[in-house]
């Protein structure tokens, strides 16, 4: 009762509102229940959040595990691919190294061949260069020798006596090369004590032909060196005078009736000098014809000597005509004898061919008979007897090749 009264006591009064203990307890219980409910709901929310978080974490863990598995699988595939790529790269690298080595070997061989070829060409070029240098040295020496010879020739041509010896030497060389030694005489003496440069002996006892060499170089050089008409006129007069004197000397000294030919040759050892005489001085040519002196150059002297050589050859042929006829007769006899011997040899060949034909005929007969005998032996084994006499004939026992008695068996018996 006391408890009920106590619970009904007023705890708080606010105007008309009064609050008892029981009401306060109810309000406090409601508040407590409300707080508990709020706490439970918060705890439930927290548990839900924890459950959701755990589910998310599990899902994330599962996803992570799947991702890790996928990553492991990808890593394995990547490892396999890397190994495959490593193998491929290794094989490709081996092939590349082999190709590079082959290329390097080929390039080395090519470079070696190129170097050898270049060395050979360089050596050949150097050899050719050395040969050309040797030829140049030789040509230089030859040019030096020619220069010395030209200097000597100039010195010879400047001296009148040496110049005359030079012209005579050219004339003697031409005649000596074309005629036999017995057909000419150098520096022969005539009855008037004159000595021409050459006497060419003619056939059949005819008088010799006189050849004399002249070389009027001073006047000719003066004509070439003349720069004015007076100088040219003076040089031409001097040249005409020198040539006229040479023509007169040859006609007066060497044309002896009955002792020499009525024509002589004046040898001029220069084609240009000869051309100058015939082109620029026709009066000298006419005077030479009147004096029966023929002016000849080296080429004309060669022609004249060849004509004389032909004349000498014809003369020797006429002198040796009887010997030639005798030799021709002997040659005809030899030809007849050769024809006779060839005819005999032909008869021997004909007889030999005839004997060979007969030998071939005999050989064919022997071959035919041997073939018939061979056919008869082969037929005796396979054919049957045709007549009764053949059936009554003693049969011959044919032995095989391995049953034939050998000579050694006969020797043992």
HEC string for 185-238: EECCCCCCCCCCCEEECCCCCCCCEEEEECCCHHHHHHHHHCCCHHHHHHHHHH
Residue 16 binned pLDDT confidence (cut-offs 50, 70, 90):
low
pLDDT (mean) for 37-47 = 84
Q: What percent of the chain is modeled with pLDDT above 70? A: 79
Q: How many domains does the chain fold into?
A: 3
Q: Which residue has the higher pLDDT, 367 or 151?
A: 367
Answer yes or no: do 219 and 114 share one domain.
no
| Residues 248 and 272 grouped into a single domain | yes
pLDDT, position 391: 38
Work out the angle at residue 327's Cα, subtended by the Cα atoms of residues 323 and 330, and round it to the nearest 5 degrees.
Answer: 140
Listed residues 319, 337, 365: the one ending a domain:
319
Measure the CA–CA gap between 364 and 278, rounded to whole angstroms. Answer: 92
Task: Please report the pLDDT score of residue 343 as a whole number.
Answer: 87
Q: If you average pLDDT over residues 71-75, what whole number do you get?
A: 80
Return the minimum-mean-pLDDT range out of 119-128, 266-275, 288-297, 321-330. Answer: 321-330
Query: What's the chain's average pLDDT?
Result: 76
- Name the band, by pLDDT with cuts 50, 70 and 90, for residue 403: very low
**Cβ-count burial of 199 within 10 angstroms (0-12 exposed, 13-18 middle, 19+ buried)?**
buried
Same domain, 254 and 284: yes
Q: Are residues 183 and 117 in the same domain?
A: no
Residue 94 lies in a domain: no
Co-location of 269 and 311 in the same domain = yes
What per-residue confidence (pLDDT) applies to 164? 52
Q: Check whether 384 has a pLDDT greater than 70.
A: no
State the Cα–Cα distance between residues 63 and 363, nearest whole angstrom.
116
Answer yes or no: do 147 and 191 share one domain.
Answer: no
Confidence of residue 121 (pLDDT cuts 50, 70, 90): confident
**Per-residue confidence (pLDDT) for residue 5, from 0 to 100:** 52
Averaged pLDDT, 108-122: 80
Classify each residue of 148-177 as buried b or exposed e, where b means 16 or more C-beta atoms within 10 Å of its C-beta. eeeeeeeebeeeeeebbebbbebbbebbee
210 vs 285: CA distance, rounded Å = 18
Which of 164-178, 194-208, 369-383 is the least confident region? 369-383
Q: Quick check: 309 pLDDT over 50?
A: yes
Phi, psi of 9 (to 5 degrees): -70, 150
Same domain, 149 and 167: no
Domain residue limits at 284: 160-319
**3 within a domain of the structure (yes/no):** no
Q: Which residue has the tokens 């691919």?
A: 81
In a domain, residue 306? The reply is yes
Q: What's the confidence (pLDDT) of residue 143?
A: 78
What is d(CA 347, CA 335) in angstroms, rounded to the nearest whole number?
A: 18
Q: Which of 22-31, 40-49, 354-363 has the lowest mean pLDDT?
A: 22-31
Does 405 reside within a domain?
no
Whether residues 131 and 196 fall in one domain: no
Asked whether residue 20 is assigned to any structural domain, the reply reads no
Return the higher-pLDDT residue of 9 and 5. Answer: 9
* pLDDT recorded at residue 17: 63
pTM exceeds 0.85 for this model: no
């Amino acid at each position: 009762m006391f408890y009920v009264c106590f619970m009904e006591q007023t705890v708080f009064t606010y105007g008309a509102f009064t609050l008892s203990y029981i009401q306060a307890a109810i309000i406090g219980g409601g508040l407590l229940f409300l707080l508990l409910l709020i706490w439970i709901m918060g705890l439930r929310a927290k548990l839900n959040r924890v459950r959701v978080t755990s589910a998310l974490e599990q899902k994330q863990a599962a996803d992570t595990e799947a991702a890790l598995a996928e990553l492991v699988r990808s890593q394995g595939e990547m490892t396999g691919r890397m190994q495959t790529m490593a193998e491929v790269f290794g094989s490709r690298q081996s092939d590349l190294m082999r190709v590079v080595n082959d290329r390097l070997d080929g390039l080395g061989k090519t470079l070696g061949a190129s170097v050898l070829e270049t060395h050979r060409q360089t050596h050949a070029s150097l050899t050719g260069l050395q040969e050309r240098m040797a030829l140049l040295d030789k040509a230089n020496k030859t040019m030096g020798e020619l220069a010395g010879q030209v200097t000597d020739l100039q010195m010879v041509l400047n001296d009148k006596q040496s110049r005359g010896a030079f012209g005579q030497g050219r004339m003697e060389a031409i005649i000596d090369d074309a005629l036999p030694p017995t057909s000419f005489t150098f520096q022969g003496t005539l009855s008037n004590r004159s000595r021409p440069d050459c006497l060419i002996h003619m056939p059949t006892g005819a008088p010799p032909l006189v050849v004399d060499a002249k070389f009027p170089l001073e006047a000719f050089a003066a004509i070439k060196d003349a720069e004015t008409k007076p100088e040219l006129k003076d040089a031409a007069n001097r040249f005409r005078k020198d040539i006229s004197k040479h023509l007169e000397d040859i006609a007066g000294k060497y044309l002896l009736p009955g002792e020499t030919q009525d024509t002589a040759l004046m040898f001029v050892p220069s084609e240009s000098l000869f051309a100058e005489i015939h082109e620029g001085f026709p009066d000298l040519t006419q005077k030479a014809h009147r004096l029966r002196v023929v002016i000849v150059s080296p080429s004309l002297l060669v022609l004249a000597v060849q004509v004389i050589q032909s004349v000498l050859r014809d003369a020797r042929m006429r002198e040796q005509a009887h010997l030639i006829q005798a030799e021709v007769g002997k040659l005809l006899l030899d030809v007849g004898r050769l024809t006779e011997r060839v005819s005999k040899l032909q008869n021997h060949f004909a007889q030999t061919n005839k004997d060979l034909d007969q030998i071939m005929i005999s050989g064919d007969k022997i071959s035919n008979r041997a073939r018939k005998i061979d056919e008869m032996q082969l037929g005796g084994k396979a054919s049957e007897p045709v007549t009764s006499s053949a059936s009554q004939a003693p049969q011959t026992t044919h032995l095989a090749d391995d049953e034939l008695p050998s000579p050694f068996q006969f020797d043992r018996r």
